Amino acid sequence: MVLHPRRPGDPFVAKWVMERIKFAREIGDQGQADELEALFDETTLRQIIETDRWDLVFDVFTSLETSLFIPVQGYMLDNWQFWKGARARLSAVRIAELAPQDFHHILTRFVEFPDILLDKEKLSGALQAVARIGKDAADIAKALVAKVEGQGDDGAWWHLLVDMVQATTGSDTSKAVALLARGFEEAEGEDEKRSLEAALSAAYEVLSPALPYSSMPEAGWSGADRAFMTFLSSSKAARR
């Protein structure tokens, strides 16, 4: 198959090519996936990143290999602070993978902004980037979580729970456990319970030894302790 390397800049062609990439990976044809990915040069990537076709923005950041973004690394670093919503969220992890130290500096400034909770999508991306950077970004993880908790916005807290737990799991186990414990105590509706289960599932292997009651004799459990352990057991069984 021969395609002009600029053609994926056309939204319809770009969508088709990315669907073909996903299909090639599903059937184990990495050669075809690599050939198609090579069509996304710097100009094409910038065109797609800048478009308002959010399905394309999503596909380009979730379907393509991180190495393909090397030509636009500087462009993303220069523009992330100005991006909003899904564009900022989806690009954050790729930037963190390519330039963790440079992005650390940007996130250090970002956390100082007073109104970062107004853009939950961007804040979600920042937390995901921090999780990808790891312990070197522990200070930023702590500051971002403190920002969320300091606002007293329960809706935002639940919206960002999974991201906050993932951001703190590797660098501040006690904080990640505290977030899960609060979620367990306060979860009421089905959406909140799903957020809690997703957060626990995302961090279970790392956190399970540190979770409350993991070593406490069953005779010492309260009713809440027993319910929490039932929740943990069911979550663990579901992953087997």
pLDDT digits (tens, 9 = 90+) for 112-152: 998 999 999 999 999 999 999 999 999 999 999 999 998 87
- Same domain flag for 56 and 137: no
User: With contact defined as beta carbons under 8 Å apart, do 57 and 49 qualify?
Assistant: yes
Which residues contact residue 29 at a Cβ distance below 8 angstroms, ignoring those fewer than 6 apart?
A: none
User: Considering 64, 79, 107, which residue would you say is the last residue of a domain?
Assistant: 64
pLDDT at position 98, please? 97
pLDDT at position 196, please? 84
Q: How many domains does the chain have?
A: 2
- Same domain flag for 92 and 149: yes
- Same domain flag for 105 and 50: no
- Same domain flag for 166 and 48: no
User: Considering 42, 64, 86, which residue would you say is the last residue of a domain?
Assistant: 64
- Same domain flag for 170 and 226: yes
- Same domain flag for 131 and 155: yes
- The answer to whether residue 1 scores a pLDDT higher than 50 is no
Regarding pTM above 0.85, the answer is no
Residues spanned by the domain of 185: 65-239
- Same domain flag for 76 and 157: yes
- Same domain flag for 37 and 73: no
Residue 86 pLDDT grade (very low, low, confident, very high; cuts 50, 70, 90): very high
pLDDT at position 4, please? 44
- Same domain flag for 101 and 207: yes
- Same domain flag for 15 and 116: no
- The answer to whether residue 46 scores a pLDDT higher than 50 is yes
Query: Which of 89 and 213 is assigned the larger pLDDT?
Result: 89
pLDDT at position 180, please? 86
- Same domain flag for 25 and 85: no
Q: What is the pLDDT of residues 153-162, one digit of tens each?
A: 888 999 999 9
pLDDT at position 145, please? 95
Residue 39 pLDDT grade (very low, low, confident, very high; cuts 50, 70, 90): confident
Percent of the chain with pLDDT over 70: 81
User: Considering 64, 84, 104, which residue would you say is the last residue of a domain?
Assistant: 64
With 0-12 / 13-18 / 19 or more C-beta atoms within 10 angstroms meaning exposed / middle / buried, residue 49 is buried
Long-range contacts of 39-43 (CB under 8 A, 24+ apart): 39/3, 39/5, 39/7, 39/8, 40/8, 40/64, 40/68, 41/5, 41/6, 41/71, 42/71, 42/72, 43/6, 43/9
- Same domain flag for 88 and 149: yes
